[in-house]
């Protein structure tokens, strides 16, 4: 009864405090937060920590396990501040409370194992997530102190201490804000796993085997991604406003703290976990986390070993590290031999575990974040303040991993990721690196046919025609199928792109673009490559039997392919079928190129004005060095 009266008093006083003088309670701002508050293009509201009495009230509610009431008070307070004047800073929960709310979002006690009790156990996770999302989108990742809150426990740190990565976090973890509940300490997600990558590996494991858990892990990982993306974007803007030469603000980003000292090979192993056809064994984060959930396959996870971070006992998190050391070291020092990739028995991960397809956009977004921060920080290396990895090494190893993917997964990484920033730049870079892995030695080099375009590392029609399209790779059907898929995706992307034509063009007096059909040379190159790959793989292109129309024969071939769509020969046939069908439809191509206007006037229709001096695929290449 006393606790209930105390809680009611807390709630009443917390709402009445909203209109009080906020400025008298604000703490001294850190340099980066002060910089964010200077006159600028407003991206987020300024923030300040809540007054001590309000924080104490919320802390009491959390420690009394009245979590739903605590979150409702926080949410009501945040909502009320939306009516304040634009220049007034908003109160936000301190980092210790933000971290605790993160645990509530994903902990099984409030998700898959939640009970319908008087404490609204099930709704706590939803309300915690909504509050975090509202804080992120209103005051932003820096003013919301998400970096301090979302810091994973460092194995090498002293018991009970959280990592600090930059001056902006130096005294945000105030001992006065510390919660006493076990769920905010030893049982929090930040203490149960040593780093972001271990957590991500387990999330992917749930997509493979535990759909009930994956529903919640997907939501949580996507939220973390939004935090990291907004954090990097905000830091880039602040760094530009401060005219920083050493890019200290950018180097203090959340994604950089998560990369830390991890080797690129280890990070990529996590990013391709469970879709690469290899075995992985990430462990449950909380004991019996998956109990009473349904496994979607017969593979069982091992027993949970003892985990006690206070005594430096890390269970079996390191169990597989020795097994992957050799591979990671090889990747960090150079290429993994192709023969090693091909010698592994490949399964169809997306066929066995369809939910894994939902992980692919997440994997791509994380890679895009790493790519962006590496590009922005340059190629000076971590030791002298530069990027954690060079762009060339990052994309080369990433392409190597994609090259080794099973055929049901490979196409998901072979087309442009239109849902990501700088999609064209990443796609061009990745396509060039994949081509380097797939094309045979001795093929015509881009520098020998279009030196100007190659100097900028773009892709032009002449490079497609002479350097990519006419080739087959080795005699392995799988490799030729991957090459065919990549060529088709790059070819179709170039044709659809609004700054490229695969045939000659001219501008009339009104500035309208007039396209000729795809050149005979381009068509011949594509057909030569198709024939070369089919010859290597001993596949015959059968002519339609008498009595079959073109579309009847096409339907029959598609039916045969669909019976085993991920068989290497069928993947190859499908890519070639698309090529042949496209090349044979000259009238339809011209009509599509014209768009809704007669000749594709700039700003109307599918195509825009093409400059004669730059007839190449748009988008900045990220560089070889």
Does 523 score more than 70 pLDDT? yes
- Please give the full DSSP string across 88-112, using - where no structure is assigned: SPEEE--HHHHHHHHHHHH-GGGTT
Distance CA(239)–CA(55), nearest Å, equals: 32
Residue 202 falls inside a structural domain: no
Residue 198 falls inside a structural domain: no
Residue 552 falls inside a structural domain: yes
419 and 391, same structural domain?
Answer: no
Calculate mean pLDDT across residues 20-46: 50
370 and 272, same structural domain?
Answer: yes
Residue 114 falls inside a structural domain: yes
Question: By the 8 A CB rule, do 610 and 492 touch?
Answer: no
- pLDDT tens readout for residues 206-223: 999 999 999 999 999 999
Confidence of residue 401 (pLDDT cuts 50, 70, 90): very high
Half-sphere exposure (Cβ direction) of 308: Cα atoms closer than 13 Å: 4
Does 269 score more than 60 pLDDT? yes
467 and 403, same structural domain?
Answer: no
The end-to-end CA distance of the chain, in Å, is 68
Distance CA(348)–CA(362), nearest Å, equals: 19
* Final residue belonging to a domain, choices 364, 388, 409: 409
Residue 611 falls inside a structural domain: yes
243 and 140, same structural domain?
Answer: no
232 and 148, same structural domain?
Answer: no
* Final residue belonging to a domain, choices 409, 440, 474: 409
pLDDT given at position 137: 94
Does 79 score more than 60 pLDDT? yes
- The DSSP 8-state label assigned to residue 597 in this structure reads S
Confidence of residue 15 (pLDDT cuts 50, 70, 90): very low
428 and 372, same structural domain?
Answer: no
Residue 205 falls inside a structural domain: no
417 and 404, same structural domain?
Answer: no
Lowest mean pLDDT among 139-148, 295-304, 610-619: 610-619
432 and 581, same structural domain?
Answer: yes
Residue 197 falls inside a structural domain: no
Strand bridging mode 47-49 / 90-92: parallel
Pairs from 16-20 (Cβ < 8 Å, separation ≥ 24): 17/51, 17/53, 17/54, 17/77, 18/77, 18/80, 18/81, 20/51
Does 12 score more than 60 pLDDT? no
Distance CA(248)–CA(250), nearest Å, equals: 5
Q: Which of 330, 204, 328 is nearest to 266 (CA)?
A: 328
Distance CA(210)–CA(179), nearest Å, equals: 31
Lowest mean pLDDT among 237-246, 435-444, 543-552: 543-552
User: Which of 69-78, 146-155, 157-166, 342-351 reaches the highest mean pLDDT?
Assistant: 69-78
Q: Which domain holds residue 48?
A: 2-192
Phi, psi of 515 (to 5 degrees): -105, 140
Half-sphere exposure (Cβ direction) of 449: Cα atoms closer than 13 Å: 15
Distance CA(482)–CA(568), nearest Å, equals: 9
215 and 176, same structural domain?
Answer: no
Does 560 score more than 60 pLDDT? yes
pLDDT given at position 195: 96
pLDDT given at position 543: 78
399 and 298, same structural domain?
Answer: yes
162 and 84, same structural domain?
Answer: yes
- pLDDT tens readout for residues 291-302: 875 555 444 443
* Final residue belonging to a domain, choices 356, 387, 409: 409
249 and 366, same structural domain?
Answer: yes
Q: How many domains does the chain have?
A: 3
Q: Which of 368, 387, 369 is nearest to 379 (CA)?
A: 387
Residue 204 falls inside a structural domain: no
Does 24 score more than 60 pLDDT? no
pLDDT given at position 423: 77
Q: What is the mean pLDDT of the chain?
A: 77
Indicate the helix (H) or strand (E) that contains 513. strand 513-515
Distance CA(281)–CA(320), nearest Å, equals: 8
- pTM metric for this prediction: 0.79
Does 52 score more than 50 pLDDT? yes
């Amino acid at each position: 009864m006393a606790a209930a009266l105390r809680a009611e008093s807390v709630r009443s006083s917390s709402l009445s405090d909203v209109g009080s003088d906020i400025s008298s309670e604000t703490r001294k701002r850190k340099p980066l937060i002060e910089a964010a508050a200077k006159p600028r293009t407003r991206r987020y509201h300024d923030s300040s920590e809540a007054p001590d009495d309000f924080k104490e009230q919320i802390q009491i509610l959390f420690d009394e396990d009245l979590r739903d009431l605590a979150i409702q008070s926080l949410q009501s307070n945040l909502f009320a501040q939306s009516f304040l004047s634009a220049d007034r800073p908003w109160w936000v929960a301190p980092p210790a409370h933000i971290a605790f709310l993160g645990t509530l979002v994903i902990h099984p006690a409030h998700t898959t194992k939640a009970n319908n009790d008087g404490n609204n156990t099930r709704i706590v996770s939803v309300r915690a997530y909504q509050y975090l999302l509202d804080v992120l989108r209103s005051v932003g990742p820096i003013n919301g102190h998400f970096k301090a809150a979302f810091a994973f426990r460092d194995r090498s740190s002293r018991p009970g201490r959280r990592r600090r990565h930059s001056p902006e976090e130096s005294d945000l973890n105030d001992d006065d804000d510390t919660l006493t509940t076990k769920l905010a300490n030893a049982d929090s997600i930040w203490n149960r796993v040593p780093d972001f990558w271990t957590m991500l590996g387990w999330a992917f494991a749930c997509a493979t085997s535990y759909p009930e858990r994956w529903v919640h892990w997907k939501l949580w990982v996507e939220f973390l991604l939004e935090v990291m993306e907004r954090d990097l974007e905000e830091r880039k803007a602040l760094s530009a406003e401060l005219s920083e030469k050493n890019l200290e603000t950018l180097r203090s980003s959340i994604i950089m703290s998560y990369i830390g000292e991890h080797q690129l090979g280890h990070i990529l192993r996590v990013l391709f976990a469970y879709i690469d056809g290899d075995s992985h064994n990430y462990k449950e984060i909380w004991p019996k986390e998956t109990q009473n959930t349904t496994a979607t396959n017969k593979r069982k996870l091992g027993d949970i070993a003892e985990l006690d971070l206070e005594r430096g006992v890390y269970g079996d998190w390191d169990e597989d590290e020795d097994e992957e050391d050799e591979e990671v070291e090889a990747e960090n020092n150079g290429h993994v031999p192709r023969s090693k990739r091909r010698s592994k028995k490949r399964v169809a991960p997306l066929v066995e575990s369809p939910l894994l397809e939902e992980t692919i956009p997440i994997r791509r977004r994380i890679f895009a974040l790493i790519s962006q921060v590496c590009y922005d920080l340059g190629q000076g290396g971590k030791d002298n303040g530069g990027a954690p990895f060079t762009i060339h090494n990052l994309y080369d190893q990433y392409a190597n991993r994609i090259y080794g993917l099973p055929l049901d997964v490979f196409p998901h990484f072979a087309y442009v990721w239109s849902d990501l920033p700088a999609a064209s730049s990443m796609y061009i870079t990745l396509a060039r690196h994949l081509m380097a892995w797939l094309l045979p030695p001795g093929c015509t080099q881009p520098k020998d046919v279009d030196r100007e375009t190659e100097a900028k590392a773009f892709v032009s029609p002449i490079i497609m025609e002479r350097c990519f399209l006419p080739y087959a790779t080795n005699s392995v059907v799988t490799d030729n199928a991957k090459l065919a898929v990549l060529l088709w995706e790059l070819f179709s992307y170039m044709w659809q792109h609004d700054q490229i034509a695969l045939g000659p063009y001219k501008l009339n007096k009104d500035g309208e673009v007039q396209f000729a059909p795809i050149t005979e040379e381009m068509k011949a190159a594509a057909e030569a490559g198709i024939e070369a790959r089919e010859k290597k793989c001993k596949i015959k292109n059968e002519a339609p039997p008498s009595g079959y129309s073109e579309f009847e024969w096409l339907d029959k071939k598609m039916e045969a392919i669909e019976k085993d769509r991920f068989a290497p020969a069928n993947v190859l046939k499908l890519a070639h079928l698309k090529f042949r069908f496209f090349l044979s439809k000259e009238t339809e191509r011209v009509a599509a190129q014209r768009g809704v206007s007669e000749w594709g006037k700039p700003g109307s229709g599918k195509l825009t004005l093409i400059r004669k001096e730059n007839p190449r695929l748009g988008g900045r290449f990220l560089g070889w060095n």
